[in-house]
């Protein structure tokens, strides 16, 4: 049994090591607020410790993907007496149902809060249709 496990695990470990040469840190889904405005969708994400350099936002086939690498160094002081959180990286994807203008997406990060503004494509804006009576 042990040999079988070793055989299956080893190649996977090699792949993992190649894919992430950085120090291993847990990756969590950040909490998000999503607000749909008439002309844009606003996404707010709690990305503690992430600055502009550590942020990666992509949109591909209507999937918005956010990856944040924390700039905070892992604390290793001598005696922790109480622990509720750990330094981590963040990753989260959203499927965007509305047609958005990917070229005009703006992202700003301040105090560990990321704000994404996804402008809707022109045709998606509600148009008022006037009804004529004859």
Partner 1 sequence: MIWPVVRASWSADPMQEFNRLYGDMDRLFGNRSERLTFPRINVWSNQDETVVSAELPGVDPKDIKLTVKDNDLTIEGERTSEPLAESDIQVRRERPTGRFIRNLRLPFEVEADKIVARYEHGLLKVRLPRREATKPRKIEVAVG
Q: Which residues bind partner 1 (CB under 8 A)?
A: 31-38, 41-42, 44, 46-51, 70-72, 75, 77-85, 111-113
Nearer to partner 1, 48 or 57 (CB): 48
* Alpha carbon separation from 108 to 73, 93, 111, 131 (Å, rounded): 22, 18, 10, 42
Task: Spell out the residues 6+ positions from residue 25 whose beta carbon is closer than 8 angstroms to its own.
Answer: 70, 74, 87, 88, 89
* Helical H segments across 20-76, by residue range: none
DSSP 129: -
* Residue number, 14 or 108, with CB nearest to partner 1: 108
Residue 57 C-beta: closest distance to partner 1, Å: 17
**What is the smallest separation between the CB atom of 77 and partner 1, expressed in angstroms?**
4
Nearer to partner 1, 10 or 56 (CB): 56
Q: What's the CA gap between 53 and 106, in Å, rounded? A: 15
Q: Residue 46 or 91: which CB sits closer to partner 1?
A: 46
Q: How far is the CB of 15 from partner 1 (least distance, A)?
A: 28
């Amino acid at each position: 049994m042990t040999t079988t496990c070793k055989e299956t695990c080893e190649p996977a470990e090699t792949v993992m090591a190649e894919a992430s040469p950085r120090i291993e840190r847990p990756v969590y889904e950040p909490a998000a607020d999503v607000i749909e405005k008439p002309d844009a969708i606003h996404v707010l994400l709690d990305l503690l410790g992430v600055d502009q350099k550590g942020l990666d936002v992509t949109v591909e086939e209507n999937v918005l993907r956010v990856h944040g690498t924390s700039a905070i160094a892992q604390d290793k002081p001598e005696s922790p007496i109480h622990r509720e959180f750990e330094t981590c990286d963040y990753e989260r994807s959203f499927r965007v149902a509305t047609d958005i203008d990917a070229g005009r997406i703006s992202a700003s990060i301040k105090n560990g809060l990321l704000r994404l503004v996804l402008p809707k494509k022109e045709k998606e804006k509600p148009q008022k249709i006037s009804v004529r009576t004859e």
